[in-house]
Amino acid sequence: MSDEVTRRNFIRQSEGIVGALALGGMVLTDASGRDRKGAPSGAQSKTGDIKTALYSMTYSGVFYNGKALTMEEVIQRAKEYGYQGIEVSGKRPHGNPLDMPKSRCVQLRKLAADSGVGIYTVAGNNDFSSPIMEHRECQLVYMRDLIRMASDLGAQFVRVLLAWNGVSKLPVPPGGGTYDLGRQVWEVTHEGDTDEQMWERCRDGLKESVRYAREFGVTLALQNHPPMVKHDYKDILRMVHEVDSPNLKVVLDAELLHQHDEAYIREAASEVGALQAMSHFGGDFDRTPDGKFTVTANGEDLTTLYPLFVRAMLDIGFRGHISYECCHEATLVNGTAMGIEFPDKNTRLAAEYMRGVIAQAQKEKSGAA
C-alpha cells in the first residue's frame, strides 16, 4: 500500500475521531470496526437484542402517491415509531452522494444521534453486471462516492447488490413506481450473456469496491437480492468467498430466501454465520379484530416467517439491525396509488410487530439457556 493511501487513512481516521467527539458520546471505532477498548462494535456483538431500523426508501415518494419526506422527516418518523436505527437510501431524494457533501452528512449524523436513531447503513443500488464498459465504470464512481458518504455519515455498512434492475416513477394516475421498465431494459442489455460472464463482471466490481471500503473504514454488505441471485444465499456466500475481503459481509433477508420453512431458514443462517451484517423485513401489516398481527406480501402470509428468522439470527449470534422497507409497487384504490397514509400505517405497525417478535425470541432463548 502506498504512503499516500496510508496518509489518507490516517487523516480520515483522525477526522472520524474528532467527529465522534463532537457528536457527544458516540462509540469511537477505527477502520477495523473495533471500538477504542478493542470490543467488537459490529453486528456480531454477543450482548443485547437485534435492533429495528427504518429504511428511508419507504418514504421516497416512489411506492405511494405523494411527496417524499426529507431525511429530517424520516429521522423524526423513525423516532416517533420507535425504531433504533436508520438505513439511508443511496439515491435521490435521500442519499445520492452528489447531494451529500461532508457538511450535510455531519448535520444528519448529529441529528440522528441526538434523536437516538443513529445512521447504521447506506443502501447502494448498484449494478456491476452490465456488458457495457461505460455503465460499469459509472457504477464504480457511484460506489466510491457512496462509500465516502457512508463514512461521513458514520455508517458502518454500505448495502450492495450484484445487479439491480432499477425503478421508475409513474404519472398520476396511478402514481407510485414500477419495476417493469427496469426489468425489460436489464433483460435486453443481457441478451447473449452467460451467467458466468455476468458473475465475473460483478466479482470484478466488488473487488474494486472493497478497496474503497477498506480505505474509508466501511464494510460492504451483499444482499441476497435478484436478478443475479440464482442459487439463493449460496450465490452470495460464493461471491463473498471469491472476493475474499474482511470488508465484504452478507445481508440475508428472510423474504428473499427461496424457501420459508424452518429447516431451510436455519440452514441458511448457519452457513452465513458470522458474516451476517444486517437484514430487512417488509410486507403489508395489519391487525385482526382480536389484536393479532398479520403480515402479507405478494399474496403470501409472512406472519410466522419472521419469528423463525429472528430465532435463527439470535442462534448464530447476530445482534445487528433489521430494517423495515416498504418498497413494493403501490396498492391502488380506484386506479390511483394510495397516499402517504399507506407507508405510515405499515411503518408504525411493522415497528410494533418486529419489537414483539424480537422480545419473544429473546425471551425464549434466555429461557432455554
Domain ranges of the chain: 46-368
Q: Are 11 and 5 in contact (CB under 8 A)?
A: no
Cis amide bond preceding 97, omega within 30 = no
Cβ-based neighbour number of residue 185 at 10 Å? 13
Task: Give the separation between CA 52 and CA 241, rounded to whole angstroms.
Answer: 28
Cβ(289)–Cβ(261) below 8 Å: no
Burial call 304-321: b when 16+ CB within 10 Å, e when fewer: ebbbbbbbbbbebebbbb
Residue for grid cell 440464482: 230
CA atoms within 13 A on the CB side of 116: 10
Contact 59, 177 (CB under 8 A): no
d(CA 121, CA 4): 27
- Here the cell at position 206 is 466488488
Q: Which helix (H) or strand (E) holds 223?
A: strand 219-223
In order along its 369 residues, the chain shows pLDDT tens digits of: 444 444 445 444 444 433 433 333 333 333 333 332 333 334 454 446 899 999 999 999 999 999 999 999 999 999 999 999 999 999 999 999 999 999 999 999 999 999 999 999 999 999 999 999 999 999 999 999 999 999 999 999 999 999 999 999 999 999 999 999 999 999 999 999 999 999 999 999 999 999 999 999 999 999 999 999 999 999 999 999 999 999 999 999 999 999 999 999 999 999 999 999 999 999 999 999 999 999 999 899 999 999 999 999 999 999 999 999 998 888 889 899 999 999 999 999 999 999 999 999 999 998 876
How big, in percent rounded to 5, are the helix, strand and coil portions of the chain? 45, 15, 35
Q: What's the whole-model pTM score?
A: 0.87
Q: What is the DSSP letter of 11?
A: H
Q: Does domain 46-368 have CATH number 3.20.20.150?
A: yes
